[in-house]
Amino acid sequence: MTSSSDQNVLKLLILGLVFHVVFIASVFDCYFTSPVVHGMLPRRAGLGEAKRVVLIVGKYNFHFRDGLRADLLFAVNAFIDSVPSSPEIIAPYLRDIVQTRGAFGVSHTRVPTESRPGHVAIIGGMYEDVSAVTKGWKTNPVHFDSVFNQSSHTFSFGSPDILPMFAQGATPGKVDAWSYDEEDEDFTKGMKIQNYATALDTWVLDQLRTLFQNASSNAVLDSQLRDDKVVFFLHLLGLDTTGHSYRPHSKEYMNNIQVVDLIVQRTEELFSNFYHDEETSFIFTADHGMSKIGNHGDGDPDNTRTPLITWGRGIRGPLPDSIPSSHDDYSHPWQLVDFLRRDIEQADLAPLMAALLGINYPVNSVGVLPDVDPTRPGYLLPREGGPALARLALANAESILEHYLVKHESKAAQTTRYKAFEPLEKVSHDGKPSRVSWISKIERLIGDGRSFEARQETAELIKVTLQGLRYLETYDRVLIRAIVIVAYLGWAAYSSLSILPPAASSVSANKSALVRIAAAATLAIFWALFAAQRAPWTFYVYVTFPCYFWQQFALRGVPILVQQFKSSDRPGSFTCRALFHLVIVVVVLQCMVAAYTHRSLWSIGFLFMGILWPFALWPSHVRSQKPKLLLLWMGSCLATGIFPLLSVNKVEDLYMIMCGGATILAVGAGYLRLVSNGAAAAGKVSVVQVSFIVLMMAITASSVKSLQAKQGLPIINQTLAWVVLVVSSIYPFISQAQHHTPASRIVSLFLGFGVCFVILSISVEGLFYAAFTCNLLLWIEVEAAVRLNGAGAVSSKQGYEFRTDDIRIALFFLFFVQVAFFGTGNVASISSFYLEPVYRLVPIFNPFLMAALLIFKIIAPYVILSAAFATLNTRLRLPPFSLFIVALTLTDGMTMSFFLSVTDTGSWLEIGQSISFFCITSLLLVWSAGICAAGEYLVSADSRKIK
The topology (CATH level 3) of 49-381 is: Alkaline Phosphatase, subunit A (3.40.720)
Query: DSSP letters along 783-832, please?
Result: HHHHHHTSS----GGG-----THHHHHHHHHHHHHHHHHHTT-TTSSGGG
> Which residues 6+ apart lie within 8 Å of 628 measured at CB?
none
Which of 208-222, 263-277, 442-456, 685-699 shows the lowest mean pLDDT across its residues?
A: 685-699
Which of 115-129, 325-339, 383-397, 650-664 shows the lowest mean pLDDT across its residues?
A: 115-129
The residue among 768 and 906 whose pLDDT is bigger is: 768
Q: Are 366 and 347 in contact (CB under 8 A)?
A: yes
pLDDT tops 70 at residue 794 = no
| Percent residues over pLDDT 70 in the chain | 80
pLDDT tops 80 at residue 382 = yes
The confidence band for 163, taking pLDDT boundaries of 50, 70 and 90, is confident
The confidence band for 448, taking pLDDT boundaries of 50, 70 and 90, is very high
| CA 162/CA 156 separation, integer angstroms | 10
pLDDT score at 289: 64
In 3D space, the residue among 230, 284, 228, 250 whose CA is nearest the CA of residue 78 turns out to be: 250
pLDDT score at 747: 85
Burial of 670 (0-12, 13-18, 19+ CB in 10 A): exposed
Mean of the per-residue pLDDT values of the chain: 81
pLDDT score at 797: 43
The pLDDT of 819-843, averaged and rounded, is: 68
> Which residues 6+ apart lie within 8 Å of 475 measured at CB?
411, 415
pLDDT score at 487: 93
pLDDT tops 50 at residue 244 = no
Task: Establish how many alpha carbons lie within 13 A of residue 778's alpha carbon, considering only the half-sphere containing its beta carbon.
Answer: 22
**327 Rama sector, left if φ>0, alpha if ψ -120 to 50, beta otherwise:** beta
- Backbone torsions φ then ψ of 108, nearest 5 degrees: -95, 120
pLDDT score at 52: 96
In 3D space, the residue among 260, 250, 294, 85 whose CA is nearest the CA of residue 708 turns out to be: 250
pLDDT score at 15: 87
The full length of the chain comes to 947
pLDDT score at 534: 81
pLDDT score at 636: 94
pLDDT score at 189: 47
pLDDT score at 943: 47
DSSP state of 612: I
Q: Which amino acid is at 230?
A: V
| Percent residues over pLDDT 90 in the chain | 35
pLDDT tops 50 at residue 625 = yes
Which of 312-326, 340-354, 423-437, 924-938 shows the lowest mean pLDDT across its residues?
A: 924-938
How many other C-beta atoms are found inside a 10 Å radius of the C-beta of residue 4? 8
The confidence band for 859, taking pLDDT boundaries of 50, 70 and 90, is confident
| CA 893/CA 590 separation, integer angstroms | 8
The residue among 156 and 299 whose pLDDT is bigger is: 156
The pLDDT of 177-193, averaged and rounded, is: 57
Burial of 902 (0-12, 13-18, 19+ CB in 10 A): buried
pLDDT score at 436: 92
How many other C-beta atoms are found inside a 10 Å radius of the C-beta of residue 361? 30
| CA 532/CA 416 separation, integer angstroms | 7
C-alpha distances (whole Å) from 947 to each of 740, 876, 936, 943 are 11, 13, 17, 9
The confidence band for 736, taking pLDDT boundaries of 50, 70 and 90, is low
Q: Select, from the ranges 112-116, 192-196, 295-299, 333-337, the one with the highest average predicted confidence (pLDDT).
A: 333-337
pLDDT score at 354: 95
pLDDT tops 90 at residue 595 = no
| CA 841/CA 729 separation, integer angstroms | 15
pLDDT score at 894: 82
The residue among 937 and 532 whose pLDDT is bigger is: 532
Which of 37-51, 355-369, 892-906 shows the lowest mean pLDDT across its residues?
A: 892-906
pLDDT tops 50 at residue 138 = no
Q: Select, from the ranges 267-281, 289-303, 702-716, the one with the highest average predicted confidence (pLDDT).
A: 267-281
pLDDT score at 145: 86
The pLDDT of 588-609, averaged and rounded, is: 88
> Which residues 6+ apart lie within 8 Å of 154 measured at CB?
148, 166, 170, 174, 175, 176, 230, 231, 232, 233
Which of 384-393, 707-716, 773-782 shows the lowest mean pLDDT across its residues?
A: 707-716
pLDDT score at 738: 57
Nearest 10 degrees: Cα torsion 932, 934, 938, 944:
50
The confidence band for 848, taking pLDDT boundaries of 50, 70 and 90, is confident
pLDDT tops 70 at residue 111 = no
Name the CA radius of gyration of the chain, rounded: 32
Query: DSSP letters along 261-323, please?
Result: HHHHHHHHHHHHHHH-SS-EEEEEE-S----TTS--SS--HHHHEEEEEEEETTB----B--S
> Which residues 6+ apart lie within 8 Å of 324 measured at CB?
none
Which ranges in 448-557 belong to alpha helices (H)?
451-473, 477-496, 509-532, 537-552
